[in-house]
Structure 1
Amino acid sequence: MHNNPIASVIDDDESVRIAMSSLVRSLDWDVRLYASAEAFLASDTVNRIACIISDVQMPGMNGLDMYRHLLNKGVTLPIIFISAFASDAVRRQALELGAMCVLTKPVDGCEVSRCLAQLGPDNSCRE
């Protein structure tokens, strides 16, 4: 039986989901993948995950609105936002909502590792 923590990766770009999944799995996490914020919110995994990794800009509900929705329901899961367009305004909004990290695409694997290490065993990259 696996006891690895579970991260949900939410991104409308399939190649980003697959790459992020491979990276997160290499850090001894289990991963659940979602193509949209709506698909994630409709899933039954919200109560079983340890972290969310979400794109900011997606068709339909964006990542910031998805996290606001969770917070309004009393769900305060740690979240890492990723964005190709991480403007200062987006970064500020994400951090004000309580994001652990706001990373810019293309995402550096060591940065993801450092963010996830804040939640448990030290998986940070050694330089």
Structure 2
Amino acid sequence: MARYLEIAVIDDDESFRVALVESLSSLGYGSSGYASAEDYVRVIGGNSFSCVVSDIHMPGMSGLDLMKHLAAQGSTTPFVLITARSDANLEAKAEAAGAVCLLRKPFEIGDLIGCIEGAVKG
């Protein structure tokens, strides 16, 4: 059983977001879903998350933009980025922004758990 961690899931694809939140919850993680980066920024307030799992490509603020925005405010919350796209240099962009992992959809939940656990240890 995983140690208790609070994970934020940000993805504009509602069915994917809900499924991911439910999967994480079933594995013993606290998990909250947000439909956009803007929703996350608006709602988080004093909430503290162990890790953020965010889609890169969303309408409005992208996952990369969200990382930069939060880092500018002093946040050290680790990010795992996810995407269904295969853009050139995406790994380099994610790494340069400070992402712990970049996973391409569809991915195995075990791969995501490995990234999350690695992120909170590092």
TM-score surpassing 0.5?
yes
CA distance in 1 between partners of 2:45 and 2:5 (Å): 12
CA RMSD of aligned residues (A): 1.7
- Please state how far the C-alpha of 1:87 moved relative to its aligned partner: 2.6
CA distance in 2 between partners of 1:91 and 1:81 (Å): 10
Instruction: Tell me the matched-pair count.
Output: 118
1:57 aligns with 2:71: no
- Please state how far the C-alpha of 1:16 moved relative to its aligned partner: 0.9
SS of corresponding position for 2:44:
coil
Partner residue, 1:102: 102
Distance 1:49 1:98, change over 3 A: same
Distance 1:111 1:59, change over 3 A: same
What are the superposed Cα offsets for residues 86-121 of structure 1, whole Å, 9 maximum, x if unpaired? 43422211111111110001121111111122125x
Structure 1 moving runs of 4+ over 2 Å: 44-47
| Mapping for residues 1-127 of structure 1, pairs under 5 Å | 4-44=4-44, 47-118=47-118, 119=120
SS of corresponding position for 2:52:
strand
- Please state how far the C-alpha of 1:32 moved relative to its aligned partner: 1.0
SS of corresponding position for 1:48:
coil
Identity %: 36
Q: Name stretches of at least 5 consecutive residues in structure 2 with no aligned partner.
A: none
TM-score by length of 2: 0.88
The residue type paired with residue 4 of structure 1 is: Y
Which stretch shifts more, 82-91 or 95-104? Answer: 82-91
